[in-house]
Amino acid sequence: MAVTVSTCLKMKAEGKKISMITAYDYTTARLVDEAGIDTILVGDSLGNVMLGLGDTVSVTMEDMIHHCAAVARGTKNALVVCDMPFMSYQASVYDAVVNAGRLMKEGRANAVKLEGGVEVAEHIRAIVNAQIPVCAHIGLTPQGINALGGFKVQGKTADSARKLLEDAHAVEEACAFAVVLEAIPAALAARVSEELTIPTIGIGAGAGCDGQVLVNQDMLGMFHDFTPKFVRRFAEVGDIMREAYAEYDRCVKDGSFPAAEHTYAAPEGILESL
Ligand code: KIV
């Protein structure tokens, strides 16, 4: 059954946990979808793990549309949420609505995600009024890396914890259907999750959230540039890939690949007739 925004709200009401994983291409989306994951995030983390940019600041609308459309083609049941890239929504409410619309029309997303709380509440409301579901993202917001001064845990002082609670309520009031909580103390995330009626999706925010999200390449052990404390590697796919590439290299060089079963036979007499 296809997962919708209503499914997510119902899961929260029934105390059922929501799973979310990032994907950026057709093949991975199919595998994630077949595994029964509830929601796929086409994250702007593709700037890190697909494009090697080091952060998400330079990711463009065209990048997001290109990858989201591929993911949408590979997804049957999961809800596809697409990140709005840096500066596609911050400058004006108009930009926010127009660019969210492009991610839906050209990227075939089911919902969009954007970073920020109180300061983007008006943008969220306008996008929702355009019939586009919005997932908010507060706490550590990677697009703001230059303002935040690095990838730092948020909500550790009373002031910043209070601001986080305000942000959470602001995005709920603006009609976001869910909110990602990134890199905040577990007790604070649990408090936010109790206070909100919309689901919280945690990443580095503890088990008290209503769901969890991880970056695909992180949880599969494929990306080693940096590994945040909150990542659990559910497999070491990177090692398997490296071994397979090395084995292929050996087989090409020693002539054992391709073997007869990978080879097309010429019909009898063809070569002799040339
Ligand atoms: O871009 C992304 O993958 C994200 C997750 C880390 C939540 O925003």
Residue 58: its pLDDT value, please?
98
Side chain identity at residue 229, one-letter code: K
Cis peptide before 133 (omega within 30 of 0): no
Residue 184: its pLDDT value, please?
98
pLDDT per position as a tens digit, 144-195: 999 999 889 999 999 999 999 999 999 999 999 999 999 999 999 999 999 9
Residue 82: its pLDDT value, please?
99
Identify the bridge partners of residue 116 per DSSP, sorted by sequence position: 137
Residue 93: its pLDDT value, please?
98
Q: Ligand 1 centroid vs 21 CA: distance in angstroms?
A: 9
Contact 104, 146 (CB under 8 A): no
Residues in the chain with pLDDT < 70? none
Instruction: Return phi, psi of residue 71, to 5°.
Output: -65, -45
Q: Is 84 helix (H, G, I), strand (E, B) or coil?
A: coil
Choosing from 22, 28, 145 the residue with most ligand 1 atoms within 8 A of its CB, the one to mutate for a pocket test is 22
Q: What is each CA distance from 48 to 43, 52, 216, 226, in whole angstroms?
A: 10, 5, 12, 10
Residue 157: its pLDDT value, please?
97
Q: Is the pTM of this model over 0.95?
A: yes
Q: Ligand 1 centroid vs 255 CA: distance in angstroms?
A: 43
Percentage of the chain lying above the pLDDT 90 cut:
99
pLDDT per position as a tens digit, 137-147: 999 999 999 99
Choosing from 53, 83, 103, 181 the residue with most ligand 1 atoms within 8 A of its CB, the one to mutate for a pocket test is 83
Q: Which of 218, 239, 206, 212 is nearest to 24 (CA)?
A: 218
Ligand 1: residue whose CA is nearest its atom 5: 43
